[in-house]
Amino acid sequence: MNNPSKPRGPARPHPASKHPSRPENPRGAPGSPRTFARPSKPPLRVQTTTLWEYPSQHYGEGLQGDPRYVGATPSYIPWNLMQRYTSEGDLVVDPFCGSGTTLDVAKSLNRVAKGYDLVPSRPDIEQADARKLPLASGTAALVFLDPPYGDHIDYSDDPRCIGKLSAYDPQYYEQMDRALDECARILRPGGHLGLYVCDYFDKKKGLAAVGFGLLQSLAHKLEIVDIISVVRHNKSLEKGNFHKAAEEQNFFLRGFNYLLIARKPEPKPAPARPRSDRGDRGDRGDRGRRGPPR
């Protein structure tokens, strides 16, 4: 419903260090130094409530990921997760890496990052299926994923693309369950996972509660830490008559995405054995003494 014609996901070449959002000021007088119209972006801050919002897709002076990539993640989301749950040098993994937003954020924070996608859009993204990652178990401090939410974006011609499966098809949830198994496998004990996802609504089929579907799956593998509501700034919704239609036809447009945060439990320490099992002898006179027997 939100997007009747399927946009195509893969990006054109990554714009590297270019700043398309900073056009030259056309009013600069001939011969005068060139000036640039800088977009005003508020400074980044760690989000402290379960309602997250930032008015731009990118932060700072540069770009993270490719702004032209349909379905790119707002970069302040992986930035916030890395600030909270990782330290410098930690491994961050994105199994559905798209235009590489997570890699750029990780680099800016001195984290080590690995990104995978069926159709890598740039050389630092490795070709792999999110359901079988070429990575050792228990190694990642953070896994961030923004997977397809159904089949409303045409990411590639690869038949293994999870974006070929409708959010109304149980197969979508089965395949995402396999990808989440793989995420849980590569996380180190105590490591965190952030899953960015949105529900889908079709006027004829009704609601596909994708967020709740994936939350159920996740809860079988990891501990749920929290559920964040991320305010959507979808420019395409501002163009058409979507809001008028939503009012007249009595349905709701998607106003938020979920960010599901989960954690891999640490192994529980083995319960202390009672003294009688330890072979302690009551006649040594060392009861209550700390440290090794002298």
Ligand X SMILES: C[S@@+](CC[C@H](N)C(=O)[O-])C[C@H]1O[C@@H](n2cnc3c(N)ncnc32)[C@H](O)[C@@H]1O
**Binding residues for ligand X, per CB under 6 A?**
9, 65, 69, 71-73, 95-96, 98-99, 101, 116-119, 129-131, 146-148, 155-156, 160-163
Given the complex with ligand X, which of 122 and 246 has the nearer CB atom?
Answer: 122
Minimum separation from the CB atom of position 202 to ligand X (A):
19
Given the complex with ligand X, which of 126 and 246 has the nearer CB atom?
Answer: 126
In this chain, which residue has its C-beta nearest to ligand X?
A: 98
The answer to whether 130 and 95 are in contact (CB under 8 A) is yes
Minimum separation from the CB atom of position 9 to ligand X (A):
6
Minimum separation from the CB atom of position 23 to ligand X (A):
23
Given the complex with ligand X, which of 31 and 159 has the nearer CB atom?
Answer: 159
Dihedral angle computed from the Cα positions of residues 245, 248, 250 and 256, in that order, rounded to the nearest 10 degrees:
40
Given the complex with ligand X, which of 17 and 32 has the nearer CB atom?
Answer: 17
Given the complex with ligand X, which of 36 and 184 has the nearer CB atom?
Answer: 184
Minimum separation from the CB atom of position 32 to ligand X (A):
38
Minimum separation from the CB atom of position 280 to ligand X (A):
55
As beta bridge partners, residue 28 has: none
The answer to whether 142 and 203 are in contact (CB under 8 A) is no
